[in-house]
Chain A
Amino acid sequence: GNSVTQMEGPVTLSEEAFLTINCTYTATGYPSLFWYVQYPGEGLQLLLKATKADDKGSNKGFEATYRKETTSFHLEKGSVQVSDSAVYFCALGGTYKYIFGTGTRLKVLA
């Protein structure tokens, strides 16, 4: 079945550091891929998505590229801010079912 594996956290970075959160997937067919962000005590918010191979999703300085050859969708940001501290979820979806990774907690220190 479909599955998503993302790197375990927590990830602790200093402000303005480069961020990478790894995500790999296993899927039949060609699902869309997503990154969601969850701030404390809140639901998940869609951060970005990509719908086909080599697509790059981007939003708020974050970006991720749908890599079919490596079955990956790594999240990157060139310069993180304290306000980026949250839990990030990688997900794949399509045809009613969305499968999420276990989440990676990011903590950015001033």
Chain B
Amino acid sequence: SQTIHQWPATLVQPVGSPLSLECTVEGTSNPNLYWYRQAAGRGLQLLFYSVGIGQISSEVPQNLSASRPQDRQFILSSKKLLLSDSGFYLCAWTYGDGLNEKLFFGSGTQLSVL
């Protein structure tokens, strides 16, 4: 069966430090991958999505970047974190085609920038 792993679960980083969050999917090939951010008291904001290795689409200009070095690996990065980068980051992937497509989420990373 397919599973998605996301780590770390929690992270506390100082302003100006770098960031690297990793997500991997098992049990499937060529998944569509997504990074979402959920700020306190707000909904989900789509940050990036990827339909294949090296293919990244950015939805919102910001202090973050994403990379997909392998088929089932999706990385969210920043060179210098800002206070406003704090939030709950969720990796997700889609399973199925067309009307059968479903979006599944990882367990999330709570990032606090201090």
Q: Which residues of A pack against B, CB within 8 Å?
A: 32, 34, 36, 41-46, 49, 51-52, 89, 91, 93-94, 96-103
In the complex, how many angstroms separate the beta carbon of B12 from the nearest chain A beta carbon? 15
Q: Is the CB of A98 within 8 A of B90?
A: no
In the complex, how many angstroms separate the beta carbon of A44 from the nearest chain B beta carbon? 4
Closest A residue by C-beta to B42:
A102
Q: Is the CB of B44 within 8 A of A100?
A: yes
- Which of B42, B94, B107 interacts with A43 by CB under 8 Å? B107
Q: Is the CB of A94 within 8 A of B101?
A: yes
Q: Do A42 and B108 form a contact, CB below 8 Å, given A96-B49, A96-B51, A97-B46? A: yes
Q: Do A43 and B105 form a contact, CB below 8 Å, given A89-B43, A103-B43? A: yes
Determine the interface band of chain B, counting residues with CB < 8 A from chain A.
Answer: 20 to 34
Closest B residue by C-beta to A50:
B99
Q: Do A100 and B43 form a contact, CB below 8 Å, given A46-B102, A94-B101? A: yes
Q: Is the CB of B101 within 8 A of A43?
A: no
Bound-complex Cα distance A45 to B4 (A): 12
Task: Give the A-B contact count at a CB cut-off of 8 A.
Answer: 52
What chain B residues lie within 8 Å of A102 (beta carbons)?
42-43
Since A43-B92, A45-B105, A97-B46 are in contact, a sample of 9 more A-B pairs with Cβ atoms closer than 8 Å, ordered by chain A residue number, is A32-B99, A41-B110, A43-B6, A43-B90, A44-B44, A44-B105, A52-B99, A98-B103, A102-B43
What chain A residues lie within 8 Å of B49 (beta carbons)?
96-97
Bound-complex Cα distance A94 to B101 (A): 8
Bound-complex Cα distance A97 to B104 (A): 13
In the complex, how many angstroms separate the beta carbon of A80 from the nearest chain B beta carbon? 22
Chain B 87-114 interface mask (CB, 8 Å, partner A; 1/0): 0001010100001011111111010000
Lowest 9 A-B CB distances belong to which pairs?
A102-B43, A43-B105, A100-B44, A51-B99, A44-B105, A43-B108, A43-B107, A100-B43, A98-B103
Bound-complex Cα distance A97 to B49 (A): 8
